[in-house]
Amino acid sequence: MSDARAASGGWVWRAAKWAWGHVALLLIVGTFALATLSVARRTFVAPSISTGTGQLPALPPDAIVIRIAHWQLEAGFRDAVDALAKDYREKVNPKVFVIQNAIPEGIYGQWCCSQLLGGTAPDIMAPGLGLQWPIWVAYMNRYFIPLGERIKEANPHNKGSDLEGVPLFKTYNDSMRAGYVEDLRSYYGVPLYSMAVRLFYNEDLLKKLTGADRPPADYREFLALCDRISAQRDPNGLPYVAIVGSNYHAGMWEGGLYNPLTWTAIGKADINRDGYVSADEFFLARKLGLINFEDPAIHGRLKVMTEVVKRFQPGWLGLGRDEGVFLFAQQRAVFIPTGTWDAHSLQEQGSGQFKVKVMPFPYPSKSDPEYGSLAVAPPYDRPNNTLGFAITRGSKHPDIAFDFLRFMASQKGNQKFNDIVGWIPAVLGTKPPEFLEGFKPQYAGQYGIFTPALGGQTDVLWNQKSQLLQIGSLSVEEFLKQYGGAYGPAGQADFDEMQRNAVRSRRSGEQYLACLRHDALAATGADGALARYQYVQSTASRQMSPVIEQNRVERLAGGADPAPTTAPYDYSPELLARVRSHLKSQP
Amino acid sequence: MRQFLPLLAIVSVCLLGCNPAVDSIDGEMEQAWTLLRGGEGSTADARFARCAVAAKSARDKAWALYGRAMVRVNEADTRMLDEADSFLESAIAADPKGDAAPWAELAVARQLSLRLELIREKRMADPANVAVRSAMEALNAKAEKAYEAVSEKYPGHPAGDEAATYQMTLLLDRVDPAAAGRVTELVDRFAQERPDSPWLTVAYGLRGNACTLRKDPDGLLASALKGLEASHRLDPSAVQDQSWAYFNIASIAEHQAGDFATARTYYTKFITEYPQEQRVLTARQALVRMDACEARMQGVPTTQPSAKGPR
């Protein structure tokens, strides 16, 4: 027995000794074995599936699984994708099963990174959130499939509709521009919906507290209603809140109400007369004495902001999105500004308790005693389609993935999708859900000309001072004194930095253009001609026009060129002489 | 130590595997460009380098060396620009009559422009520095000559056209009416010799800038109109977006040429063809403004704008 033990112990001892002598080899072999097992499992065994809702469907053995990732956790979105997936399976391809990966916004960027880099990305993803745009561009270039000629083919799922036979890109209300990635000069996204921001309100609560059975017609009426709301208390003795405020919701008023009021000053600040006023252009106009912060348009914009934030709940600046929505859901606040992405969720919050309606931001009427002269037209409001969904290079079924996206982008499919989710469709011949009638676009409207921040210094300055203005620590006049005093030097520093950045950007643009040139030279036929034309335009807009424009701006800012003696939109005596001459020469 | 010998052997095999032979130059080169496009410069450079070594034809070698130069053009470090210069010279020497040569020669001229941008940045920090200003002027002249040489060496070639427009840009960069006069001459000649070049629309834009420098608003408007005509003719896009051009022409006509008839035509086209554009209200306001101005000149009461354009 003892001999046997000795023999056994000797065997173990020899094995251990051999293992110690080959420890490195064993480690490497073990690692390779694990890696091989992992790859084989991913390649040959059906992937484990987790859906956004946690439901695990029982899939037939010949199922074609299309995975789609997005960050839309709002009510209705996943239902809409599921419904369209079911329709697709029933009407187009019974083998296709669509599985959703609904990822929370906070980790979406990191999640996409790890999936794309690890080679485990879903077939379809929604690019654009959680990472800086240049990173998304690099990822799209490497990990996503450009749609290329596919957008020129008719969408087969439009058969029988008035879009039958129409190329896919022409079936969109924006000619599919939203799906185009400028930096890569190619279409990557299949857009499915538009987004816009408006004012939502609790119709029942508004009527109960004010007796009003329709939304306020203008800004003045809106303020009066807000004051009547704030003067009342709920059964617990707490005052009602007129408008939900939070650090998420407060900024929504900028484009809807505050900034469009500055449009009337466009003729003083649009130095290059292109119809827009950029942040550096405004700085220059102020430096040249063409406009100042005391201008009625700027003053009015600031005053309106103070009047609106006064109607928010106390302490709003420290609150986030969820706290704001909670206040609305509890029926303690009447108005909440937000985007279409929240429309369905708000409706669900109110379901069975109160009715949610939507209205444009209240705007001063032309007869408004204080702001009437600033309100020539309503604010410009055009819902924008989003980039939508793109197909990853790792997809085993890219054609089916594209066809499913096309199915959701067909006239009927897009209508159904957006009816379920409660959003604005992107395809021609569709209409928004009845609930969103208030989201009708407003063209020929006013838009902002005042961008407070040129760069880091002016951004910090604006944030500090405007917060003091909003919480009432500063009056508009005090704000203008403090902000206006510091804006000059801070703006000059940011302006100089912008000019330096423009030079750096030309240098860094050279390599981008080299790649574009390579693609243009490689492309053939009609695509080649288009690519070469686009290369020319890109080169000119990046490397040629900016040189000349920068010279012009620098000379104006540095005093080398004389400052204009008339405002940009005013006619000088010389110009009037030219006009007369032209008039005389006309028959 | 003996037990680590297998590890050493495997690591050696792995290292050898990291530098595999190039199977297809075209495929490898394409991958290098894809990597460069994705911002992975060093990996792209390694692939271009492998292609340059493995290239069996002078053409492939020239393009691979050109690729290595393009990896370096973004750098602010002048040593990298020197390296790029060296690769470009090698590319030209490898295949002086090949299809890479015109682009490599254009890139050599571009290198001068990139160096000019580096000096421009210095000038911004110290605008009064005479030495920096002189260096800029000297480099501008040198680069302009280099572009001119490329455009003359490759007439009718896209690289020649591009060099010609860069030459015009540098002339305008001098902010000198005489140089601007030369630009108008160059553009007019370019329009005659290369009427179908996609660079023609850009050239007309530059001609407009030259007219601005020469205080010639009628010339500016004429250039903008010719640029639009060229764009209509040459832009192969499925959907041509002329909204920017329409507004620009209308604005020049209204505010610089004083030609209200042309301004009215193009503001109206802008409003009619692009009704969803953000600047529609601004264009409408311009129509009202011009109506009021004309009415004042003609002594007509201005309570109602005349009906010369859409509202």
| pLDDT value at residue A53 | 46
Helix residue spans in B154-215 (DSSP H): 158-173, 177-193, 200-213
Per CB-CB distance under 8 Å, the chain A contacts of B289 are: 569
Closest listed residue to residue A409, CA positions, set A187, A163, A244, A225:
A163
A499: nearest CB among B74, B124, B256: B124
Residue A408, amino acid: M
Q: Would you place residue B23 in the very low, low, confident or very high pLDDT band (cuts 50, 70, 90)?
A: low
Interchain proximity B166–A376, CB inside 8 Å: no
Q: What is the mean pLDDT of residues B100-119?
A: 96
Alpha helices in B18-129 (DSSP H): 25-37, 41-54, 58-72, 78-94, 101-125
* Cβ–Cβ under 8 Å, residues B31 and A52: no
List b or e across A232-258, with b for residues whose CB sees 16 or more CB atoms inside 10 angstroms.
eeeeeeeebbbbbbbebbbebbebbbb
Q: Looking at the partner chain, which of B127, B202, B297 has a beta carbon nearest the beta carbon of A536?
A: B202
Q: Look at residue B307 and tell me whether its pLDDT is greater than 50.
A: no
Average of per-residue pLDDT across A185-196:
90
Cβ-defined contact of A24 to B158 (cutoff 8 Å): no
Of A122, A386, A515, A159, the residue nearest B31 (C-alpha): A515
pLDDT in tens, A349-395: 898 999 999 999 999 999 999 999 999 999 998 888 999 999 999 99
- Does residue A35 belong to the interface with chain B, where contact is any CB pair within 8 Å? no
First to last CA, chain B: 90
Res B20: pLDDT: 53
In the prediction, which pLDDT does A290 show?
A: 96
Dihedral sign, CA of B252, B257, B260, B262?
Answer: negative
- With H, G, I as helix, E, B as strand and everything else as coil, classify residue A69: strand
Q: How far is A515 from chain B (nearest CA, A)?
A: 6
What's the start-to-end Cα distance of chain A, in Å?
Answer: 128
Closest in B6, B38, B281 to A138, CB measured: B38
H/E stretch holding A303: helix A296-309
Look up the ipTM and state it: 0.90
Q: Determine how many CB atoms are found less than 10 A away from the CB of residue A555.
A: 13
Residue A503 to residue B114, Cβ atoms within 8 A: no
Name residue A282's amino acid: F
What is the Cα–Cα distance from A382 to A195, expressed in whole angstroms?
9
pLDDT mean over B289-300 = 91
Instruction: Let me know: does A192 contact A388? Beta carbons within 8 Å.
Output: yes
Q: Which of A23, A92, A102 is nearest to A410 (CA)?
A: A92
Pairing of strands A390-391, A124-125: antiparallel
Q: Decide if B6 and A532 are in contact by the 8 Å CB cutoff.
A: no
Distances in whole angstroms, Cα of residue B77 to Cα of each of A516, B68, B80, B90, B174: 23, 16, 6, 20, 25
The nearest CA of chain B is from the CA of A179 a distance in Å of 15
Residues 265-304 of B with CB under 8 A from A: 275-286, 289, 293-294, 297-298
Tell me the pLDDT band of A52, cut-offs 50, 70 and 90.
very low
pLDDT of residue B35: 87
Q: In what order do the strands lie in the sheet with A241-243?
A: A241-243, A333-339, A197-202, A356-359
Strand partners for A98: A66
> Rounded to 5, what percent of chain B is helix, strand, coil?
75, 0, 25
- pLDDT tens column, A142-156: 789 988 888 989 999
Structure tokens belonging to residue A310:
């006064």
Q: What digits encode the pLDDT tens for the residues A230-280?
A: 999 998 999 999 999 999 999 999 999 999 999 999 999 999 999 999 999
Residue in A closest to B1 by C-alpha: A21
- What count of Cα atoms within 13 Å lies in the side-chain half-sphere of residue A220? 10
| DSSP 8-state symbol, A273 | -
Q: How far is CA A349 from CA A244, A327, A343, A354, A511, in A?
A: 15, 11, 10, 9, 51
Residue A496 in contact with partner chain B when CB distance is under 8 A:
yes
Model pLDDT, residue A14 = 84
Region of residue A211 (left: phi > 0; alpha: psi -120 to 50; beta: else): left
| Nearest residue, CB atoms, B282 vs list A21, A266, A506 | A266
Q: pLDDT class for A307, splitting at 50, 70, 90?
A: very high
